[in-house]
Amino acid sequence: MRIAVCDVGLGNLRSVERALQVASRGLRNEVEVTRDPARLRQADRLVMPGQGAFGDCARALSGPLGDAVRGHLAAGRPYLGICLGLQVLFEGSDEAPGCAGLGVLGGNVVRLAPGVDPVTGAPLKVPHVGWNTARSAGDSLGLLPPGDPQYFYFVHSFVVVPQDSRVVAATTEYGEPFVSAVAFGNAFACQFHPEKSGHAGLGVLERFLAS
């Protein structure tokens, strides 16, 4: 099975590649980092990671690379979006007005509202950096760990606001709730970083590869 990690010129590619190789142990999987649209179209599974600015990611996907990603999704082949790989599925972002996302899902990306710690009353910092739980809201693909919510690692200042609540797969509390994962068709995308989230994150990757 060929797993393509889409290279849009932003960070975090190699850690995602290594995590997928670990999750593939014992399986005959080929993990490839590529920015070649033809290679993406040939992939059995596509992973879209990304750390950085929405505008940079959107511009990288504005041509043939983005067309290949849309084609992969339209064909119903499994897709895993991580951080910007979640946000770019939407129509646009307040981080980069005028830069269009892939537009696969209706809705927008907005700045995370600075909330208040419910225990101390102190203001919460933005960006949201560190460990937090993701509570399943009906993960249709079953990629989230079963049972009680588990901790994942987050690094972000923006969150997605889907028009269709049925795509919401998980929510997270940071002063107030925000959407931390979506699922539709054979696509799953999360605001947290599975490749940095220890056993729980590895489980997400393993279930994605088995889906």
Active site residues: 83, 193, 195
The 8 Å CB, 24+ separation contacts for 142-150 are 142/207, 142/211, 143/169, 143/183, 143/188, 143/204, 143/207, 143/208, 143/211, 144/169, 144/170, 144/181, 144/204, 145/200, 145/203, 145/204, 150/200
Q: Please report, as a single letter, which amino acid is at residue 169.
A: A
For residues 177 and 186, give the distance between their C-alpha atoms in angstroms, rounded to a whole number: 25
- Taking phi over 0 as left and psi of -120 to 50 as alpha, with beta for the rest, 197 belongs to alpha
For residues 84 and 156, give the distance between their C-alpha atoms in angstroms, rounded to a whole number: 9
CB neighbours of 207 closer than 8 A, spacing ≥ 6?
141, 142, 143
